[in-house]
């Protein structure tokens, strides 16, 4: 067996295309040079197309969590009422950041495996007109849940509150019309659907959000978006940006835009549909209901006879396939299969075929080929649609 042959199917970091790796191998240049200013101008324009916005979009040298902190640090003043909406690990992270910056947080937990209920959000906003910021997650990778950001954005836009959305794992995989849906702050990261290594984060800011940012008194330095706004006027970044990562970002954005956003979203939808069909064909249960299941990652409940983490070890040891495990209360209970970014039909087929064999080794007798067949049927139907 070729021990070095690996198949990475986790929700970040994801596979990096050869075209992106090649771009990152170019000779480095000065981050304050006129040449790099041209790169930043081009890349920012392409980022805006993926964000579907005319708002400012900033590139930060950080993880996605850095962008989350940037959003909170610039929006939340000590004592501000913050409505934090959560259906998993990363909704909780947004809440924790708001608390650290002194927000008076109303935390609404919709439960792991469930999506945001807009009726509850509307009631909260009606009863608390002094809410300043609403925090939500587009794609909750810990549970494989996708939230209705269009509905949420149009709802929050009716109030004084500013909406900030964690789209770290969803942007460039799942449709998010920033301007049309009235999403004030959108944050994302490089290592998910953007098909890059970890190290870059992105933030878009609406005019409504700028009014709040300009009045913000929370302490910050590196993540000060007013500094970022001042720098981008000259196509600079406030601080040193990883130059080679920006080269790779441009290559990745070119791939996304050449494929076309609608085609990118349709591809992710098809891969998700095939993965869910395969899982059900094996007699396994999905964590998220069909009506809110993510197009970027599928969370699967391990059968009673199998520990999810043991299954993952067998998958990696015997087949070179890496799935993600459960987090916190879901540890050992679920496994997660990502199908985002540089992913295609054969990634799903490999994932499911390896899963069938690994399940057998762990004591769950699935019919070999049952899941693969269901995935193939979806793909054949998708090809002929």
Annotated binding site for substrate: 336
N-terminal to C-terminal alpha carbon distance within the chain: 38
Residue the block writes with tokens 């909704």: 91
- Hey, how many other C-beta atoms are within 10 angstroms of the C-beta on 108? 18
Give the Cβ contact number of residue 285 at 10 Å: 11
Binding residues: 336
Which region, left, alpha or beta, applies to residue 103 given φ > 0 means left and ψ of -120 to 50 means alpha? beta
Question: What CA–CA distance (Å, rounded) separates 48 from 157?
Answer: 21
d(CA 74, CA 365): 53
- For residue 7, which of 307, 269, 318 has the smallest C-alpha distance? 318
């Amino acid at each position: 067996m070729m021990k070095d042959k690996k198949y990475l199917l986790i929700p970040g970091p994801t596979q990096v295309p050869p075209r992106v790796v090649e771009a990152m191998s170019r000779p480095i240049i000065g981050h304050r040079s006129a040449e790099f200013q041209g790169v930043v101008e081009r890349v920012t324009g392409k980022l805006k197309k993926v964000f579907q916005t005319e708002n400012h979009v900033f590139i930060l040298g950080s993880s996605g969590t850095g962008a989350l902190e940037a959003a909170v640090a610039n929006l939340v003043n000590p004592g501000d009422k913050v409505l934090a909406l959560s259906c998993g690990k990363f909704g909780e992270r947004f809440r924790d950041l708001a608390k650290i910056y002194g927000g008076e947080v109303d935390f609404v937990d919709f439960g792991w495996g469930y999506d945001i209920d807009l009726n509850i959000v509307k009631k909260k906003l009606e009863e608390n007109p002094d809410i300043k910021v609403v925090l939500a997650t587009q794609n909750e990778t810990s549970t494989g849940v996708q939230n209705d950001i269009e509905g949420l954005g149009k709802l929050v836009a009716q109030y004084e509150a500013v909406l900030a959305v964690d789209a770290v794992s969803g942007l460039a995989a799942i449709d998010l019309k920033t301007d049309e849906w009235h999403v004030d702050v959108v944050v994302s990261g490089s290592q998910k659907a953007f098909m890059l290594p970890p190290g870059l984060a992105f933030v878009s800011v609406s005019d409504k959000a700028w009014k709040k940012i300009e009045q913000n008194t929370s302490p910050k330095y590196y993540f000060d978006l007013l500094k970022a706004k001042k720098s981008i006027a000259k196509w600079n970044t406030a601080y040193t940006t990883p130059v080679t990562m920006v080269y790779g970002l441009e290559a990745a954005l070119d791939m996304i835009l050449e494929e076309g956003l609608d085609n990118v979203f349709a591809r992710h939808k098809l891969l998700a549909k095939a993965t869910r069909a395969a899982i059900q064909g094996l007699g396994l249960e999905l964590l998220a209901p069909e009506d809110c299941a993510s197009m970027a990652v599928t969370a699967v409940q391990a059968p009673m006879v199998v520990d999810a983490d043991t299954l993952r070890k067998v998958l990696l040891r015997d087949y070179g396939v890496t799935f993600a495990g459960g987090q916190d209360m879901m540890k050992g209970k679920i496994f997660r299969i990502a199908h985002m970014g540089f992913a295609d039909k054969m990634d799903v087929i490999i994932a499911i075929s390896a899963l069938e064999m690994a399940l057998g080794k762990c004591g769950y007798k699935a019919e070999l080929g049952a899941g693969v067949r269901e995935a193939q049927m979806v793909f054949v139907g998708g090809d002929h649609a």
